[in-house]
Every structure is written in C-alpha cells, then in structure tokens.
Amino acid sequence: MRYGYYPGCSLERSSAPYDVSTRAVADRLGLMLEEIDDWNCCGATEYVTLHKTAAYALVGRNLALAQAQLGRGDGRAPSLVAPCSACFLNLGKVDHAMAEHPEVERAVNGSLGAGGLRYDPGALAVRHLLEVIVNDVGLGKVCGQVKAPLQALRVAPYYGCLLTRPEIPGHTHDDPEQPTSLDELLKALGCEVVDFPLKTHCCGGHMTQISAATAYSLLYRLLRSAHEYRADVIAVACPMCQLNLDAYQGAVNKEYGTDFQLPVLYFTQLMGLAFGLPAEELGLGREFVSPEAALAKVGVATPRVAEPAAKPAAKRKKGEQALPMPVKRAARKRQRATS
C-alpha cells in the first residue's frame, strides 16, 4: 500500500531513531512510505501562539504539496501518515477546520495562492502511523512477523495527548481517555502490557523550555506511576513524549530525589525487536536512559494476541467473600453532539 509520509522536523535529528525504526518496520510490513517532497515544519504548538492564519497556512503548504504529489488515489482520499503526534494533529486539524469553517478555508487557500498552491479540504486522510499499523496492516499480520516475542517485558503503553485528543470526527480513532490500540499492538508483540493509569496524561510538551518546574512535575507523575506499575519500558508514539521522558528523567530524579531508570522506546523500535531486526537498524543506543537491562529480559516465546471473546456470566468461586467487579464491556462509543 502506498502512503504519503510526513516525518516532521523531530524525526530528522533528535528523534531520528523513530524515523529509522519506522522505515525498517514499514519495509517488513509492506507499507510503502513515500516522503512528501520539500515539506516544511508543522509549527508545533508555537506558531499558532502568535499567528493564527499563518499557522494554518504553514500547515496548508504541506497539505497542498501532499495533495499534488499523491493525487486522487483509488477513489478514496490518499493517506498522509505522520509518526509525530503533534504533526498528526496539526495536519488533521487544519484539514478539518478548512472543511468545517468556510472562513478558514478562504484564509488558508487565499494565503496558499501567494505561493501558487491550493488544498481542497478532505482531499487527504491525515493518519497517525500507529493507527495505520493497527487498522490497515492489522494485528494478525503484525503477529505473523514476530520472530522474537518480547515476552516478560513489562511495557507501559504511553499515548500522550495529541494522538487521541482533541476528538476530531474521522481523524481520531481511539478513545481520548482510555485508548487501547497501542496496548493491543504491544500484546501482539508478546509484551506484558501494564494497566498504565496515566497513559493519556501530558508529558509537559514545551514546558521543559518555559517552566521547568511545571514540566518536571508532570514527568514525575508519569514516571512514578509507570514505576509503581513495575514497567520495564515506556512505549511511546511521539517524539516529544520520548524526548521529555528520556532526556529529562535525570533532572526529574534530581528534583524529586528519586532514582527512576525507565527506558523510553518508540513502539516501532519494539516492533523491530520483535520482528528480529538488529538493534542498530532500529536506532537503539541513543537513549539517555539505557534500555540494556530491560531488553536483556526479552526471551523467546510464542506471542499472544489479545482476542476479546464474549464471556459468559462470571461464576462464583468457592468461599469468595469479595464483591464481583463490573463486567468488562466495550465502552460504548462516545458521541459528541455536533455543534
């Protein structure tokens, strides 16, 4: 399958391992990632802080370039894949705002016109790499590629914010509070996935640069909870989350008098390891917190794929004193009244 690929600035340097491992894994899975020519920065959370229309136009140039490069696809809007959650949101948000608000569409295309470009809202499906792997490739195929299951590796699945929030119809594919796609993917790799309560809480974003105390407090919460749940590794799907949790872990330890040693790896790196790819081809070794001890735990066994089967009414155990827990039931899809 052919996909437009928008790596984003972080993946060029500070998060190069994410890019490297993404390409390696995509290769195994038969995902054809075609980088958008001459893409520019998405503006992160900074550009829109000072200029709104220009921030939208900045993103608009990427959408316009991608639309021109990817064409019309096979009747459906071609997919533009971003591995970075901030890029994923910015690209999707501008596409959606242009579709929903005519004045935004006029402003963006008015600006793009100055560069001889144009974007038709809805012409692309902006998607996150994780969602493409889970939904297009499918866990079955992922499972089939697993050569060295990561059994006994306790992983805290960390989604961060912008992968599932804000909820944009057609753009967001998982629950904004308790997503499960990364959990399921990690289980398919054989990992032991911990029930990480803060899986969608914030890593601090750019606060490390502006108000370190605030950022450290947010990072401390995440590290402490992952530690209490006895995670060996935190799996991430966003370069900002990786950078903050990894590079500032020492600073957090210093600030709070703790000694967290939690390696933070991209989910694509874990996939690569499970696929039996050599560590160096996955960009491993550039972390601040070494994953060596954690990865040493990884043995070989058959992977488990979680299959939510319909369960009959739970039976009472002999001598059971405790009250039963509520039955696990797929949360009904949240529906927001359209405004």
Partner 1 sequence: MTGGNGGDRPRVGVYVCHCGTNIAGTVDVESVARWAGESLPGVAVAREYKYMCSSLGQDLIQQDIEKEGLDRVVVAACSPHLHEKTFRRACAKAGLNPFLMQMANIREHVSWSAEDRALATDKARAEVAAAVRRVEHHRPLEPVKVPVNPATLVVGGGIAGIQAALELADAGYPVYLVEREPSIGGHMAQFDKTFPTLDCAACILTPRMSEVGQHENVTLMAYSEVEEVTGYVGNFHVRVRRKARFVNEATCTGCGVCIEKCPQSVVDEVFEAGLGYRKAIYRPFPQAVPKFPVIDKAACTYFQRGKCKACEIFCGPKSIDFQQQDEVVQIEVGNIILATGYELFDSRRLPQYGYGRLANVFTSLEFERLCNAAGPTNGKIVLRDGVTEPKRIAIVHCVGSRDKNTNEYCSAVCCMSALKFGHLLMEKTGAEVWSFYIDMRPLHKGYEEFYHRLLDEGMRFVRGRVAEVTDAAREAGEEGRLIVQYEDTLIGKQRRLPVDMVFLMGALEPRRDSKQVGLRFGLSCSMDGWFIERHPKLDPVATMTDGVFIAGTCQGPKDIPDSVAQGAAASARVQGMISKGSVLVEPVVASIADERCSGCRICNTLCPFNAISFDAEAAVSRINGVMCKGCGTCVAACPASAISGAHFDDTQVGAEIEGILWDALPERGMAEVTP
Partner 2 sequence: MNHPRASTAPVRLLERVAADTPGGERLKLCLQCGTCGGSCPSGPDMDQTPRALFALLMDGDDQAVLRSNAPWYCVSCYHCTVRCPQAIPITDVMYALRRASVRAGLADDTDAPDFSETFIGYVEKYGRSFELGLATRYHLTHSPLQKIGHGPMALGMMFKDRLGLRPARIKGLSQLKAILAKAKHMEEAQGALRILPGLQPRT
Closest CA to 56 of 9, 100, 10, 12: 100
Distances (CA, A) of 331 to 131, 180, 308, 335: 19, 11, 13, 12
Q: One symbol per residue from 223 to 262: x for binding partner 2 (CB under 8 A), - otherwise; what is it?
A: ------------------------xx--x-----------
Query: Scanning the structure block, which residue is given the tokens 């989910």?
Result: 267
Closest CA to 193 of 310, 285, 305, 332: 305
- Residue 58 is a binding residue for partner 2 (CB under 8 A): yes
Partner whose footprint covers residue 323, from partner 2, partner 1, none (CB < 5 to 8 Å by kind): partner 1
- Residue 48 is a binding residue for partner 2 (CB under 8 A): yes
Secondary structure (3-state) at 93: helix
Q: Could you give the CA distance from residue 282 to residue 308 in angstroms, rounded to a whole number? A: 31
Q: One symbol per residue from 294 to 313: x for binding partner 2 (CB under 8 A), - otherwise; what is it?
A: --------------------
Neighbours of 92 (CB within 10 A): 25
Q: In the complex with partner 2, which residue's Cβ is closer, 266 or 275?
A: 266
Q: In the complex with partner 2, which residue's Cβ is closer, 247 or 279?
A: 247
Partner whose footprint covers residue 9, from partner 1, partner 2, none (CB < 5 to 8 Å by kind): partner 2
Two tokens at 186? 């990690």
**Which residues of the chain form contacts with partner 1 (CB under 8 A)?**
175, 177-178, 195, 197-198, 201, 220-221, 224-225, 228, 312-316, 321-329, 331-332, 334-337
Q: Could you give the CA distance from residue 59 to residue 44 in angstroms, rounded to a whole number? A: 10
Partner whose footprint covers residue 78, from partner 1, partner 2, none (CB < 5 to 8 Å by kind): none
- Residue 91 is a binding residue for partner 2 (CB under 8 A): no
Q: Could you give the CA distance from residue 71 to residue 201 in angstroms, rounded to a whole number? A: 37
Q: In the complex with partner 2, which residue's Cβ is closer, 55 or 156?
A: 55
263 cis-preceded (ω within 30 degrees of 0) = no
Q: One symbol per residue from 146 to 185: x for binding partner 2 (CB under 8 A), - otherwise; what is it?
A: ---------------xx--xxx--------xx--------
Neighbours of 239 (CB within 10 A): 26
- Residue 115 is a binding residue for partner 2 (CB under 8 A): yes
Neighbours of 302 (CB within 10 A): 9
Q: How far is the CB of 170 from partner 1 (least distance, A)?
A: 17
Partner whose footprint covers residue 326, from partner 2, partner 1, none (CB < 5 to 8 Å by kind): partner 1
